[in-house]
Amino acid sequence: MLKKMLYIFIFTLLGAALIFSVVMMIKFFNEAAEEEKDNMKNPMLNPVNETPSPSLTEAATPSPSPSPSPTPVPEKNYEEEFYMTEITDEIFERIKGKSYPEGATISLDDLRWCHVVHYGFDGEIHEGEIIVNKAIADDTLEIFKELFDIKYEIEKIRLIDEYGADDEKSMEDNNSSSFCYRTIAETTVLSNHALGLAIDINTLYNPYVYTRKDGTLFLQPENATDYVDREKENPHFIKNGDPCYNIFIAHGFTWGGDWNTKKDYQHFEKSID
């Protein structure tokens, strides 16, 4: 009798354990299914769902490649951002009495306003404008397009008139520019910038520097002390043989950093007949 009751007890216990484990298993699978549903709802948790299904990609582009890749987003065509105009009345209003002072001997007809885009020091694309001699206007657009294509970083390309045609202020702000009717610093000789035949790039990082006859240091801009030593590593330094240098040289320009005594590291100019 006692033995029989023990058997009943053990079987009841085993039965209960069996029912309990079945219930737990059902619960577990239900929870797993719920979790999967949640992931489907929230693409952030499951980024794979964002890409088109392989069958769609294959249907759109029949490709022999066995591994389907995400459809590339078509890149904006920046070619049309590089263009020039003559000096319109509106542009003349901006430069009159500044980079184009009274008595300037260069004709407005000889100048061109160029619109460009460029990569900034922030890695983003920015608009720029630069006035140059019409003789180098095609070169200018091509040069800035080539610099853009290699993502060469230029911090800003603004008309020097935004600095009141003050070369020092423009350089202190690392602005890149060309036309400004002025003489070469500390001389009475007209600069090639007065003809729009010279282009200065990243002017703070690439200063104009030399030792005067009296032994003192000439430095433009004045806040460029950290960039006088050209042996230092700096991604914004222009050096002989680097990509920026090579692009300008390929367009027939010479570089101020190659001059013997005075070093104008920002400066590229082109002689025309």
Instruction: With contacts defined by CB under 5 A, name the span among 98-106, 111-119, 141-149, 265-273 that binds Zn ion.
Output: 265-273
Separation between Cα atoms, residue 193 and residue 267, nearest integer Å: 10
Position with the least CB separation from Zn ion: 267
Binds Zn ion by CB under 5 A, chosen from 116, 200, 201, 257:
200
Nearest CB to Zn ion, comparing residues 91 and 192: 192
Q: Tell me the CA end-to-end span of the chain in Å, nearest whole number.
A: 126
Separation between Cα atoms, residue 124 and residue 155, nearest integer Å: 10
Q: Taking CB under 5 A as the rule, does residue 267 contact Zn ion?
A: yes
Phi, psi for 11 (deg, rounded to 5): -65, -40
Q: Are 261 and 192 in contact (CB under 8 A)?
A: no
- For the bound state, the minimum distance from the C-beta of residue 256 to Zn ion, rounded and expressed in Å, comes to 6
Separation between Cα atoms, residue 253 and residue 212, nearest integer Å: 26
Q: Which of residues 111-170 bind Zn ion (CB under 5 A)?
A: none
Token digits for 147?
A: 């610099």
- For the bound state, the minimum distance from the C-beta of residue 141 to Zn ion, rounded and expressed in Å, comes to 19
Instruction: With contacts defined by CB under 5 A, name the span among 36-44, 97-105, 116-124, 260-268 that binds Zn ion.
Output: 260-268
Q: Which of 69, 81, 106 is nearest to 198 (CA)?
A: 106
Instruction: With contacts defined by CB under 5 A, name the span among 70-78, 223-231, 241-249, 263-271 that binds Zn ion.
Output: 263-271
Q: Are 83 and 138 in contact (CB under 8 A)?
A: no
Nearest CB to Zn ion, comparing residues 112 and 267: 267
Nearest CB to Zn ion, comparing residues 156 and 267: 267
- For the bound state, the minimum distance from the C-beta of residue 269 to Zn ion, rounded and expressed in Å, comes to 7
Q: Are 207 and 224 in contact (CB under 8 A)?
A: yes
- For the bound state, the minimum distance from the C-beta of residue 268 to Zn ion, rounded and expressed in Å, comes to 8
Q: Where on the chain is the footprint of Zn ion (CB under 5 A)? A: 198, 200, 267
